[in-house]
Amino acid sequence: MSFDKSVSEHYTHGELLGAIQSAVAKLGKSIERVSIDDLARVDEFHIGGRLDTDNLLDQLKFSESDHILDVGCGLGGASRYIASKFNNRVTGIDLTQEYIDVGRKLCAWVGLDKQVSLYQGSALSMSFEDETFDGGIMLHVGMNIDDKALLFAEVYRVLRRGASFGVYDIMQINNGELTYPVPWATENSTSKLATPDQYKQALTHVGFKVGTHNTRRDFALGFFRQLRQKTEASGGPPPLGLHLLMQQSTAVKFKNMVDNITADLIAPVEIIVQKQ
């Protein structure tokens, strides 16, 4: 099995659209009345969800005229939020076909299918023309991509000069063996972590100028602590949540990730760069 297929199969659910539809009904809402805020609990698959999407966007300062690229867009949650927040166009690309198929449905549900376009494909060989986009984001994607230099060379190619690009990935902070499974990998064969310095080296090598670099370890631990307390107080997870994506393995994947962060082996890290 190819590496890309292994990664895609890790994320494939099989009946994801039906699971989301059922959860929306449990919220007492119809498809016609569901909002992007309702969907954020399931479609922003990164530590901190909407909270950290906002934190990143505050630094990138996109505008209404910008056409934004979402690398590894998943279900397109961040893409839809950007389009609604700035009233602009967003294009997402992701390796997992089911995520793209479901994401397109979600765009139609919330009336953003004209502003948000989602495509299946590899971030290492995107079908977009040179200098297509005015800015971009990449949220929890690089952990499944070994060749960071090729990844960022491809991103650099499709961004216009002066464009800002925000990376928010889980990165290796110290040496040590991680406990698996985690949300992005069942075992270490599909986990391609790198250090912040390796990210910055790959980014600068292709021509990006590195600006802000934020390690979000404390934020992540606080976020998971509050999430656990809220879940316990409610007697279980809400109808819509990331447990729909990870299914029966949700608890062990979250526990292992928190343990790995607590042990200072990994942490979510933001890096903001600009194309020169």
Quick: pLDDT tens for 4-48.
999 999 999 999 999 999 999 999 999 999 999 999 989 999 999
Instruction: Please classify residue 239 by burial: count the beta carbons closer than 10 Å to its beta carbon, then call 0-12 exposed, 13-18 middle and 19+ buried.
Output: buried
Task: Please state the rounded mean pLDDT for residues 161-176.
Answer: 98
The predicted-structure confidence for 246-263, as pLDDT tens digits, reads as follows 999 999 999 999 999 999
pLDDT at 16: 96
Q: Rg for the chain (alpha carbons), in Å?
A: 18
The predicted-structure confidence for 87-105, as pLDDT tens digits, reads as follows 999 999 999 999 999 999 9
φ and ψ at 271, to 5 degrees? Answer: -135, 120
The two structure tokens encoding residue 147: 């060749």
What range does the domain containing 147 cover?
A: 3-275
pTM of the model: 0.96
CATH number at residue 113: 3.40.50.150
pLDDT at 128: 98
Whether the Cβ atoms of residue 136 and residue 165 lie closer than 8 Å to each other: yes
Number of domains making up the chain = 1
Bridge partner residues of 272 (DSSP): 166
- The pLDDT confidence band at residue 1, using thresholds 50, 70 and 90, is confident
The two structure tokens encoding residue 103: 């994401």
Q: Which residues contact 92 (CB under 8 A, 6 or more apart)?
A: 69, 70, 71, 73, 74, 76, 79, 103, 116, 117, 118, 119
pLDDT at 146: 96
CB atoms within 10 A of CB 147: 12
Q: Using the predicted structure, report yes or no on whether residue 159 has a pLDDT greater than 80.
A: yes
- The pLDDT confidence band at residue 236, using thresholds 50, 70 and 90, is confident
The predicted-structure confidence for 76-88, as pLDDT tens digits, reads as follows 999 999 999 999 9
